[in-house]
Structures are given as structure tokens and as C-alpha cells.
A and B are shown apart, each in its own frame.
Chain A
Amino acid sequence: MKPILNSPDLPYCRGCGHSLIAKGTAKALEALGIQPADVIIVTDIGCHGIIDRCLNTHTVHGLHGRSVALGAGIAMGLDNPDKEVIVFIGDGGSTIGLQHILEAARLNLDMTVVVHNNMLYGMTGGQSSGLTPRDFKTVFPESGNPYESYDLCALLVSQGAARVSRIAGTGDLSSHLQEALSVRGFSLIEVVEVCPGYGVKFNPGRNLREIIATSGKPAGKWENQRESFVYPRGTKTEDLLGDLRFIDQTNDPVAPFSLALVLSGSAGEGVQVAARLLACAAVGAGYHVALKGNYPVTVGVGFSSAELVISDRPAGSHDTEIPGVVVVTSGDGLSHIRKRIAGMKKGMLFIDSSLPVPETGSDIYSHDFRSAGARSASLYALLVFLKTTGYIPVEAVFRAIRDQGYDKKVQTGRLRSLIGC
């Protein structure tokens, strides 16, 4: 069996726990009988990340703090329990990428994360990190870290990680790593070390076990009994286009016209459905249509408007800035469209008779649209518009209601009665 490490010489300072992790991981994998080609080791920026060249496994070297998310993507893509995804990350990376670790734990992805927690940023000069214990001295603050560190293990246990442990990074770590690697689901092992380059220098006389004991983040092991991430295999459609409802087109000759129409009403009053039905009716009558909705992000309150271009030619640029027809069914709708109505020098304004008629150069058609009920007012208003203008047969709208599956949602009988057909 090919060894996991391709060299006994590792690129770390003398006394660095990173060497112990690399050797312990290799020993653990070999003890488990796992071939290097079945292992993907993901690293990122930090001293831990320079191990790649010493590995016979697949290696993926990514961005600072993102290795857990990158490894998570690999775990999702593999969907293979015979492959091992191992992520090496530092304490700095663990905090900038904390969301990624929480997410992997929440999903319980089948992967093992090894946190090289040397309690500071070693690659950039020894600054304190989110995992630096209170009072531990670093290049800044020299007097000792005034803040509590994150309890990474507690956070991850709370999010459902299958197994989490914290150990001191001394001696042979392989049995701990073997245990972590044997877990089906998300496993994280936080290996606490003292950086020989900066940690020892700034904290003379302190030893690792004493630091861990006084940190309030004790060594230990925590587990959740959970099923590992299950690859989502929901029912999918084979063809989005096949799910669309085709619109039967009449063979009647198409009268040439182009019209920009804005329907403006209130949220929850069927504005978008009414506009879509008019669009279907227009297509059924042989016209080209472009339709866009417009409403606040709070979709259940305020105005709701729909802008249509109906034309005998393909509706290219959807230019509704100066509409030819405006249909207003409520006060919300009027407030939204009032300025554009004022800018109309011609055209038609269909407006509910309960509303004040704004200044406009368009012809005004006032009608009690809301007599159809709030939810039907928009559709009724469009029917009135069609009956008045004759642009498209009213019957085409009723055909669209039926063909597009709205016949149970729309009070067809009442609308027919109101419109008189």
C-alpha cells in the first residue's frame, strides 16, 4: 500500500504540532487501510496548508478559511462512503469560515475537519485569533488576549455534528484521528497546539495542558446520534418546457396594432393573474405579448401592477414608459401610476369610479370595477377595457381562463353576468 506521506521531512518548525497532525493523520488512514487515492485532503491558507506537497492523496488547496466549504462541495459531489474527505484548517480560518463549518455540521456532511489550533495567526506574524484563549499573549495584544475565545466544539455540537473532539496536540495523535475518521457524518477534531515560532516566545513558561485547563475550553469528546447527509434525490421534472401550457391560436386575421397597457391595483387583488389572462387571450388571438409584474418586496401589501405590450409584431424592447392604456382598480394602484397618468397626452384611462380622476390628457372611462369584488376587480376592469375597445374579443379571455386552468379560481359566471355576455 502506498504511504499517505511521500516524505518523512515535513515543512514545519521544530516542535510544531502541525507535524504531529500530518503524521497522525497518515498513520490513522494507513491503520484504517485507506488508499491515498481514496482520500481528498483539502487545505487552505495558513501554515497547515503547506502540507500538500508531502501528500500522496488528492490535494485541493483553496482560499483562507474556505476549505470546509470547498470540502463540503467535494463531499456532496462524491456521494461515496468509500472516499474520505479531510479538511485541514487553522484557527484563523475557522473563524473567518465559521459559517462554513456550522453549515457542514448542520447538514452532517460526511467529512472530517482537523483544526490546527495554534491559538494565533502564525503565517502573518502571530496575531490573536478568535480561538486565542483569554490572557494568552500574542504579537497583539502583547499583554494578553482580553476576550474569551469561541468554543468551536460547543458550537458544532449544538448544530448537530456527528462527532466533535478537542485534544492537546502532543505525542502520537493517530488514535484520536482514527476515531474521528471512522465517523459517518460530520466529524471535527480541534487539536490545540502552541506555535513554536510565536506562542512559545510570547508565553514563556506556559505549557499546553495548563493553557487548555485554564482556557475554559476543556479537552473532550461530544457526539450526536444523527444520520449522515443524504443526497437529495427529489422528484424532478424532466423538461421545464414540457410543463408549460400551450396557447391555441386562432386562425382569424390579426388587426395591426401595438399597445402598451398598465394595469395598476392592489396586492392580493388578482392583478398579476388578470394581466396574465389578458396576455394569454392576446396570444390566442394571434398577437405577440410581453408582460412584466411590478410590486413592492412586501408582496402582500401596497400596489401591484402589470405592464403589457401587445402587438402584431414581436414585442422587442417592452417599452411601456408612456402607456397607451392605463387601468386603475384601487387607491394603491392610482398612487403608483399617478405620475405616468399625468404624463399621458393621449390614450385611455380606465379608472374605478370610487377614485378621484387625476389630471391627464387621456380619455377617461370611469366604471365601478370593484362591484365584481376586490379579487375580481382587475379582471373585470380588463374585460371592460376589451369590450369598450374591441381590441381582442372578450371571449378570448374566458377561453384563456379555461385553458390555463383558472376556471376554479375565477368567478366566470359572475364576470359574464357583469360584462353582459
Chain B
Amino acid sequence: MKKVLIDGSCIVTEAMARAGADAFIGYPITPANLLYQYAGRRFPLMIPAPDEITVVQWMSGLSACGRIPATATSFPGFALMLESINMAFMMELPMIIILVQRLGPATGTATCGAQGDITLLRGMISGGHQLPVLCPSGFTDCWKLGALSVSISAGLRSPVIFLTSKEMMMTVRSFDTDKLGILKPVKRVFYQGDDPYKSYQPAENGIPPFLPVTSSRWQVRLNASTHDNEGILQHSTPGALDNTRRLDQKAVSRLPEYTFFDLDEQDGACTIIMSYGITSAAAGEAVAAIRKRGIRVSLLVAKTLFPVPDKYYEILDRYERVVIAEENINAQYARILFGARLPERVIVAGSIGKMVRRDEIIKKVISPL
């Protein structure tokens, strides 16, 4: 057994590097600084940028050259990145943005964790389109999902958000590194056709093959404005709007390939606790404690937050009551799942300024019974 003291930042950085992310553009921000430091030691290319807009622009340029860049930030930096992430989405450029949540609004408290950026992430792309958002619930997830975020990004030709929070990235834990499996770098296959390349001509799976701007054979056109399948700017021609509709469906249609969750169902349970990220540990402890009292309860830990997998509704619809535990005070994921007016059967255990505690979740499950 190889026990070490380790933080999530180290695991994520190593996982992404092993999976094939080969460049890191950094701008320091708490609580993402450990990722910056580890990336400087691990990534083949690590360049500090002067601001977060530059970060994503440089990443986009690197991605256009066939690299898979990554960065890490928190809300204030993420807010600056938004337009450029929209650009990368529109250009269909692979990259990974690690968003380490902290207490907001605005600058908030840099050294206090939170899960308060969920609503933002659902609406971050103008037009309401969606990006894959993966959220680790523990260190083994940091490893697996860290690597998967790289392969999903390359496979989908899309930015991927790796959503986490301060406690997951900064808290040091004893951990057995033998639990981390072998990771292999993603094998990217670039366009090899004999016909001139069209940057946004989708293959059968709805995803256009990628060709870097380093190509000496075919012309590559990348475009952040509304464009046709050749990448030529259009106003609102049918071809261009078809391309935008395809973009809208791209992440959604491939969702079954990257739907990740843990489900611990108990026969006869009427209540299910749902959680994600750092709060899922307290949710798991709550489930164990409730079961000890002889009360049946199930647990769903969501790891693919967006697009919301239909599977979650399939599961949640089996229960009379749903308790959603998340570290915010406005039921962000709960409202995305169930609407602004939460049904009576949906109860939320929330918190700000501190993590949601096990006992708070237990109380929500037990008190109305």
C-alpha cells in the first residue's frame, strides 16, 4: 500500500498530463494556485499569462495547433474568460478549464469553498448551448474524470469544464495511490480525407474531424462568428444556422458517452439524497448514519453535471422525496433539475461559508418523516 499525503490538485494535474493535455496557461488565483504550481512542474509547456482573457486566447491558439491545453481558475477569473470560452466553443477547440469554486459573489472570500457557480455554468454559452461539465466527488474521481475531461474534450471538439471547489483541491488527505489506475494519453486522429477539408463538416457522429492550422495540405478555417461548415462567416444563412443547431446538439447527443454518477439504491427506500462534488462525502456519511437507524434511503452522486443526463430523472422519479445537498443557499442544481419553483417533494440542504454537514442532511431527511 502506497499511502501518501496528497491534495486533489496534484492528482488532477497528473491525470490530465498523463491523458494527453500538453500545455497549461496559468494566471494565479486562490484557490486554484496549487494547480498552477503543479502544472509548472508537470506540463511540457506552461506559460504564465497576464490575465484570464489572454489565458483562454492563448489556449485557443495552442488548441488550433493541435494541442490540448488546460488552465485552472476561480469565479473572478472565469468571469473574464467567459467570452473567450464562448469563442472556443464556437470554434470547436478542445481545452480543459478547471473551475475551483470559492465563496462569492464577486471577489467573495478567496479561501472559502463553495458550490455557487452552478447556475452560471448552465447559462454560460450565449444561445443556451451546453458544454460538458464534470465534477469529481473524491480523489479517485479527480484521477478518472481529470483524464476523461481530456479525452472528452478532444473527442467532442469542445471545451470541457472540470468543476471542483476549494476543499477538493487544497485539503490534503491520506491516500493510497495504488487506487489510481493506469491512464493512457488520448490518441487524436486528425482529418485524413482526400477531399478539401471543411472545418465544420460533421462526421456521422455530429462532430467535425479536427485538423490543426499546421496542416500543409488543406486549408483550415476557424471562426467564432456565425459560420457555415467551411468556417466562412455568414449572417443567418440556412447552412450557418444548421451549423449552430448542430453545435447545440453536439454535447447533448453524445451525453450517454460521458454520463458519470454513483448510485447506491436501497430496496424500499422512499427518499433519495442527491449530491455532487465536495458535498457528496457528507451525503454519503448521512446515508450511512440514516441506514444505521433502520431508515431506508438511497444516494445519487452526480459527476456529469451538464448537460443534465436524462438518467438522473429516471432515478429521481422513482422516489417520493428527493433531498439535494449542495454548498449554496439558493438550490442551484436543484432548481436546474426541477425548475425555479421546487416541487414539495424536493428538499434542499444548503450552506454558505462552510461545507454542508452530515447532520444537516440527516435532519432534512428525517425531520419531516
Contact A77/B219 with A53-B233, A232-B47, A297-B110 known, Cβ cut-off 8 Å: no
Asked if B67 is at the interface of the complex by the 8 Å CB criterion, the answer is yes
Asked if B14 is at the interface of the complex by the 8 Å CB criterion, the answer is yes
Nearest chain A residue, comparing its CB with the CB of B62 = A77
Contacts of A294 in B (CB 8 A): 111
Contacts of A38 in B (CB 8 A): 216
Question: For chain A residues 212-264, which have a beta carbon within 8 Å of chain B?
Answer: 231-232, 236-237, 239-241, 243-247, 249
Contacts of A99 in B (CB 8 A): 50-51, 54
Contact A72/B57 with A237-B41, A249-B1, A316-B282 known, Cβ cut-off 8 Å: yes
Asked if A56 is at the interface of the complex by the 8 Å CB criterion, the answer is yes
Contacts of A177 in B (CB 8 A): none
Asked if B5 is at the interface of the complex by the 8 Å CB criterion, the answer is yes
Asked if A71 is at the interface of the complex by the 8 Å CB criterion, the answer is yes
Asked if B253 is at the interface of the complex by the 8 Å CB criterion, the answer is no
B173 contacts A232, C-beta separation under 8 Å = no
Contacts of A35 in B (CB 8 A): 216
- B156-174 CB mask vs A (1 if < 8 Å, else 0) is 0000000000010011111
- A264-276 CB mask vs B (1 if < 8 Å, else 0) is 0000000000001
Asked if B153 is at the interface of the complex by the 8 Å CB criterion, the answer is no
Nearest chain B residue, comparing its CB with the CB of A272 = B172
Question: For chain A residues 37-73, which have a beta carbon within 8 Å of chain B?
Answer: 37-38, 40, 45, 49-50, 52-53, 56-63, 66, 69-73
Interface majority SS on B: helix, strand, loop or mixed? Answer: mixed
Asked if B59 is at the interface of the complex by the 8 Å CB criterion, the answer is yes
Q: Which of A143-151, A283-291, A360-368 forms contacts with chain B?
A: A283-291
B174 contacts A319, C-beta separation under 8 Å = no
Question: For chain B residues 191-217, which have a beta carbon within 8 Å of chain A?
Answer: 213-217
Interface majority SS on A: helix, strand, loop or mixed? Answer: mixed
B232 contacts A52, C-beta separation under 8 Å = yes
Question: For chain B residues 43-97, which have a beta carbon within 8 Å of chain A?
Answer: 43-47, 49-51, 53-54, 57-67, 83-84, 87, 91
- B332-351 CB mask vs A (1 if < 8 Å, else 0) is 00000000000000000000
Nearest chain A residue, comparing its CB with the CB of B356 = A317
Contacts of A59 in B (CB 8 A): 219-223, 231
B215 contacts A241, C-beta separation under 8 Å = no
Asked if A315 is at the interface of the complex by the 8 Å CB criterion, the answer is yes
Contacts of A66 in B (CB 8 A): 53, 57, 84, 87
Asked if A36 is at the interface of the complex by the 8 Å CB criterion, the answer is yes
Contacts of B47 in A (CB 8 A): 76, 232
Report the Cα distance A283→B91, complex, angstroms.
Answer: 48
Report the Cα distance A45→B41, complex, angstroms.
Answer: 37
Contact A70/B61 with A57-B219, A63-B87, A245-B4 known, Cβ cut-off 8 Å: yes
Contacts of A83 in B (CB 8 A): 214
Contact A61/B223 with A37-B215, A240-B10, A283-B5 known, Cβ cut-off 8 Å: yes
What's the least CB distance linking B359 to chain A, in Å?
A: 9
A240 contacts B14, C-beta separation under 8 Å = yes
What's the least CB distance linking A348 to chain B, in Å?
A: 22
Asked if A292 is at the interface of the complex by the 8 Å CB criterion, the answer is yes
B13 contacts A240, C-beta separation under 8 Å = yes
B5 contacts A289, C-beta separation under 8 Å = yes
Asked if A280 is at the interface of the complex by the 8 Å CB criterion, the answer is yes
- A306-330 CB mask vs B (1 if < 8 Å, else 0) is 0000000001111101000000000
How many A-B pairs fall under 8 Å by CB?
A: 216
What's the least CB distance linking A297 to chain B, in Å?
A: 7
Report the Cα distance A269→B207, complex, angstroms.
Answer: 56
Contact A63/B58 with A77-B64, A236-B41, A283-B174 known, Cβ cut-off 8 Å: no
Asked if A135 is at the interface of the complex by the 8 Å CB criterion, the answer is no
Report the Cα distance A59→B10, complex, angstroms.
Answer: 37
What's the least CB distance linking B169 to chain A, in Å?
A: 11
Contacts of B125 in A (CB 8 A): none
Contacts of A287 in B (CB 8 A): 174
A50 contacts B219, C-beta separation under 8 Å = no
Report the Cα distance A63→B232, complex, angstroms.
Answer: 15
Contacts of A77 in B (CB 8 A): 23, 61-67, 214
What's the least CB distance linking B164 to chain A, in Å?
A: 15
Contacts of B223 in A (CB 8 A): 52, 59-61
B65 contacts A78, C-beta separation under 8 Å = yes
Asked if A80 is at the interface of the complex by the 8 Å CB criterion, the answer is yes
Asked if B180 is at the interface of the complex by the 8 Å CB criterion, the answer is yes
Report the Cα distance A291→B174, complex, angstroms.
Answer: 9
Report the Cα distance A292→B4, complex, angstroms.
Answer: 15
A73 contacts B61, C-beta separation under 8 Å = yes
Report the Cα distance A236→B23, complex, angstroms.
Answer: 12
Contact A290/B171 with A37-B215, A58-B213, A69-B58 known, Cβ cut-off 8 Å: yes
Asked if B265 is at the interface of the complex by the 8 Å CB criterion, the answer is no
Question: For chain A residues 128-158, which have a beta carbon within 8 Å of chain B?
Answer: none
Report the Cα distance A57→B233, complex, angstroms.
Answer: 15
Nearest chain B residue, comparing its CB with the CB of A245 = B4
Contact A321/B354 with A240-B42, A291-B171, A291-B173 known, Cβ cut-off 8 Å: yes
A290 contacts B172, C-beta separation under 8 Å = yes
Report the Cα distance A315→B219, complex, angstroms.
Answer: 54
Contact A60/B222 with A52-B232, A290-B171 known, Cβ cut-off 8 Å: yes
A100 contacts B57, C-beta separation under 8 Å = yes
Contact A61/B224 with A237-B42, A279-B172, A292-B170 known, Cβ cut-off 8 Å: yes
Nearest chain A residue, comparing its CB with the CB of B177 = A241
Contacts of B284 in A (CB 8 A): 316
Report the Cα distance A236→B58, complex, angstroms.
Answer: 21
Asked if A74 is at the interface of the complex by the 8 Å CB criterion, the answer is yes
Asked if B355 is at the interface of the complex by the 8 Å CB criterion, the answer is yes
Having A52-B223, A247-B5, A287-B174, one finds 9 other A-B pairs with CB under 8 Å, namely A40-B213, A63-B224, A70-B60, A74-B61, A74-B65, A99-B54, A240-B14, A241-B177, A246-B3
Top 5 nearest A-B pairs by Cβ distance? Answer: A73-B61, A77-B65, A69-B57, A73-B58, A316-B281
Chain A residues at the B interface, C-beta cutoff of 8 Å? 35-38, 40, 45, 49-50, 52-53, 56-63, 66, 69-78, 80, 83, 99-100, 103, 231-232, 236-237, 239-241, 243-247, 249, 276, 279-280, 282-283, 287-294, 297, 315-319, 321
**Sample (7) of A-B pairs whose CB atoms are under 8 Å apart:** A37-B219, A73-B58, A76-B61, A100-B54, A244-B177, A246-B4, A279-B172
